[in-house]
Amino acid sequence: MAPSARAAGSGEHGGGAPGLLEVAGPHGPWDPVRQELADRGTAVVAGRLPDWRLPGGDPVLRRMLGRDWHRYEAMSRPLMKERFSASRLLLRHVIAAAIDTAPEQVDLAYQPGGRPYVRGCDQIDISLSHTRETLVAGVTRRGRIGVDVESADRRMAGTGSESQGCTPYELARLDEGEAGERNAALVRLWTLKEAYSKALGQGLRFRFTEFGFDLGADRIRLVRPDGTPAGGDEWTFGTGVLAGDPDGGQDGDRDGGYVVGTAVHDSGFGENSDLSVRTALDAGLLDALLGAAAPPAPSAAFGADP
């Protein structure tokens, strides 16, 4: 079957939130991702671990991972190493599609808290999440982005998660809902809180009981612990559902699907639809960053669109 990029799963996105695209491997096609960036300013891309295994051995992987190679080598558990490499390869390809370059030329770096960014390319913001065999990468030209993916069947109700991760307002809304929907609502809230914290660069340092969400039918809204609105329209939130693998993952667990939370902050810098690294950077700086005046041909295993 030819590689494809398609809308992934069903959605419970808030108004204006980006949809989910699933790309089945490095060969794309990547035009739907570029179109999503042109139309919305943001793209959220999902991948499956088996589709992002890199053939060719360590020399090819080392070249593709760049600065991440040393982190990869230091890991001892095979599954952890595989998830790490696959998630970074997906992220690099998403970035490459966004700024019109080759994935091996993306200079991926990390802030002190672990938040990824593209060195020398501040016209975009990125985020990454993975669990089991599902990978999610987000990119935006509007300001800041955070993404999070969790197993839809993750047990949260009755485990203490409510008191540790919910505001009084959220607890009241959960109590008003159907008992059978409580766990699903908790997973949605958790992914939104993770995504929002990542967009802020706070991670888990931001206590989840200090802010909440109103899962309204028309738009997901950020609220204070008492349920009153917080902030304005500069934030857009959404959640979506990815179908699971009916055969289960390689770790043997039942795969009941995944929930993806997205938080996007519009910094109000205006519309910059041309994200190409060749137009955003001075030519001399570009050559210094890439190490050559012209980009090398993409690798056979992980190239750009044919």
Q: Quick: pLDDT tens for 100-141.
A: 999 999 999 999 888 999 998 889 999 999 999 999 999 999
Asked: is 1-291 a CATH 3.40.50.720 domain? The reply is no
Supply the pLDDT for residue 275.
58
- 205: which 2 tokens? 């340092």
Q: What pLDDT sits at residue 292?
A: 44
- Residue 282: per-residue pLDDT: 46
Residue 249 in this model has a pLDDT that exceeds 70: no
Comparing 300 with 271, the larger pLDDT belongs to 271
pLDDT higher than 70, residue 3: no
116-141 burial, b at 16+ Cβ within 10 Å, e below that, comes to bbbeebebbbbbbbbbbbbbbbbbbb
Residue 272 reports pLDDT greater than 70: no
- Pick the more confident residue, 40 or 160: 40
Determine if the pTM surpasses 0.75.
yes
